[in-house]
Amino acid sequence: MNNHRMKLSALTPPLLLAGSLLLATQVQAAAGYADVAPILNKNCVLCHTGDAAPLGLRLDSYEAIRKGSINGAVVIAGDSRNSKLIGRLQGTIQPRMPMTGPPFLSDADTALIASWIDAGLQPATASEMATLPVMKKPVLPAPGATLSYSDVAPIFMQRCVKCHKDNGLLGAPPEGLRLQNYAQLIRGGERVVVIPGIPASSELMRRITGQSRPAMPFDGPPFLSDDEIRVIGDWIKQGARDSDGQPAPIPVGAPVRLQGRLTGLWALDGLPLELANDVRIKKRVSVGDMVRIRGQVMPNGRISVTRIESR
């Protein structure tokens, strides 16, 4: 047995040995909450904080982590192998966390958290707590502010990504819509959900206001606050800018599906519509009816309606 170990050591590249020693040193050093709090704050607290935390699981304090979720404990002192938190971070329990991944946590960071659990979930000392950053819920921009994706991303990450990602809470992302990053949001799924400059034409906006059904987020109520809806609407109206401030292009020709009330011939909740030459009107529709429309985005951002049906 000793000879076998010696052969393995002899064949192990020096860099691998150095990496293993580094990981071992990191794991041994993870003795208290102060070691893992920065990892959780960076990767998890964006979603797992406040009253809207998924399943009631907050990861923004030592006490909250020990409390767990509405389904029970997520960490078991001395037993990282059977702690749900580790299962989520490693992907042995789906959906894998964090929801914003990939990339997910590094093996070293996951090992640090596991070693903290195995060491008995030691709290931070008073002096260590004084050095930890205070995690606060992101402050929403004031009305009239210039907005970018960075301003709306925290809302999507906390309330939407849990379902709208691969292996989300509902399995596959509903209707192919993934919301883990800006590119996915602008691209949409089976159809586009954001029409830059026109919130009333954007299915995303109509879902969070309840004009289109089912209202979103799917786990509501509570749904989004009035301020959160305002910020998303203003962001779309300003051009759905990316984090660098560049507006999104009009998705010309992309399919659209909207629901709402027919408020005129032809208008959907006051939104002017243009009927394509080959439009199909399924069932008789009248002003005041709830309808669903399908169409395509025109170069000016308006909707060319190809189908209208009563709901």
Tens digits of residue pLDDT in 235-254: 999 999 999 999 999 999 99
Each residue's pLDDT tens digit, 126-169: 888 888 877 666 678 999 999 999 999 988 988 898 889 887 77
Asked if residues 174 and 188 have their Cβ atoms less than 8 Å apart, the reply is no
Residue 125 has what pLDDT? 86
Each residue's pLDDT tens digit, 174-220: 999 999 899 999 999 999 999 999 999 999 999 999 999 899 998 77
Instruction: Note if the bond before 272 is cis, omega within 30 degrees.
Output: no
Tell the residue number behind the tokens 């992309």, with chain if given. 254
Asked if residues 255 and 265 have their Cβ atoms less than 8 Å apart, the reply is no
Is residue 24 over pLDDT 50?
Answer: no
Burial of 151 (0-12, 13-18, 19+ CB in 10 A): buried
**Terminal C-alpha separation, the chain:** 74
Cα–Cα distance measured from residue 307 to residue 16, given in angstroms and rounded to the nearest whole number: 61
pTM of the model: 0.72
Asked if residues 238 and 230 have their Cβ atoms less than 8 Å apart, the reply is no
Each residue's pLDDT tens digit, 249-259: 999 999 999 99
Is residue 302 over pLDDT 80?
Answer: yes
